[in-house]
Structure 1
Amino acid sequence: QRLRTLTAPHVDSFDYFWEQGLARGVQDIEPAEFNIVDPQKLRDNP
């Protein structure tokens, strides 16, 4: 029981992150656009 009490905040935090936090974080990322003028240059450069 003592171990559960000690680890509960960590487990609860992880559960929140997995169930809600990750999706919320991804929603806050601004979309990015790329303008590729010459796609061939991407293939030629390693």
Structure 2
Amino acid sequence: EVDGLGVARPHYGSVLDNERLTAEEMDERRRQNVAYEYLCHLEEAKR
């Protein structure tokens, strides 16, 4: 998926009520989200 900034937004799995994640999986999703947010803000700062 590509957002309005032309940045390909990654497809992270959503957490369902019956889905349990390990601490490592939660950490990985958090790292991916932080990286995505950083790239979005970087793109915004270029404007």
TM-score using structure 1 length = 0.36
Give the greater-gyration-radius structure (CA): 1
Which protein, 1 or 2, shows the higher relative CO under an 8 Å CA cutoff with sep ≥ 6?
A: 2
